[in-house]
Amino acid sequence: MHWFLIDETNRDYSADHFFIVGGLVFTPEQAELVDAAVREVREEAGYKAGDSFKFETRARPDYVSIETATAAKGKLLAKLMDIGVRMITYVILHDLCKSQTYDVRMNYALNTLAYAYFDLLRTDNATGVLLMDRDNDRYDHLESLFQNGLDIDGRAVRVDSRIKLFGMTNDNASHLSSAADIALGAFRYCVNTAGGWGRDAVAQQMFPTLAKIMWGVERGGTKHLGGYGYHARPKSVRVPRYQELYTNLATGLVSYAGASD
């Protein structure tokens, strides 16, 4: 039974920024290892019981320095890579969805991620659970995903044969949630940096690890992430300025993935 923990980031509108939703997939064996890894990294960094361990630097307790918190996040990402967890992400430009309500934007993202997770489970010949960060407005949509499945090009696609439970959790309810928050936060930083709002040196240090964590398929000696661990929407962008932003994002992430540690 796999576990997929989902969160969102870059929620608020900002021109030329991307709304991001995604998370980590754990097998039962990996879940135990990730729990132990988070405990170990927290203890080494000086986090105490009850402290949030998240990507956002401001979430750290005052007695953990920025340098220590940053190093702890890097150590955890490296451990996630070694453990072999997989990441699935969804991005859409805010300028292309700003006319939609948050409910519509989030539901579309969940649809894409649910189908991607279903595809991963099918590939693994496994079943799983999908848990998103707590959002009381999402219960009806999660029920619909389980009961009715997805509408893909006018075709009803059921996902309940693989995804056995849709539910919610929060970032302080498990160490797995902390791991998902840190991985997604690192991905957000790299996405924003590719758009010109971050430090290239930091993204170049993080993204090679993230690229190895993201679910992908090897073909011809190259790992392909698009359609697996990376889903950019919409698939077709007609406005040249917006298409350029998507191209710059893809180019930037490829560049970071190829950077040396």
pLDDT in tens, 104-127: 999 999 999 999 999 999 999 999
Name the burial class of residue 71, with classes exposed (0-12), middle (13-18) and buried (19+) by CB atoms within 10 angstroms of its CB.
Answer: middle
For residue 169, what is the enclosing H or E element? strand 163-169
Per-residue pLDDT, 260? 36
The whole-angstrom separation of Cα 126 and Cα 152 is 22
Q: Torsions phi, psi of 125, nearest 5?
A: 55, 50
What is the band of 261 on the pLDDT scale with cuts at 50, 70, 90? Answer: very low
SS (H, E, C) 158-196: CCCCCEEEEEEECCCCCHHHHHHHHHHHHHHHHHHHHCC
pLDDT in tens, 16-36: 899 999 999 999 999 999 999
Per-residue pLDDT, 15? 85
Peptide bond into 208 cis (omega under 30): no
User: How many other C-beta atoms lie within 10 A of the C-beta of residue 238?
Assistant: 8
Q: Which CATH superfamily is domain 2-257 in?
A: Ribonuclease H-like superfamily/Ribonuclease H (3.30.420.10)
Residue 13 has pLDDT above 80, yes or no: yes
Q: What are the Cα distances from residue 157, in Å, to 43, 118, 130? A: 45, 10, 17
Q: What mean pLDDT comes out for the span 216-230? A: 90
- pTM, whole model, 2 decimals? 0.95
Q: By three-state DSSP, how is residue 10 classified? A: coil
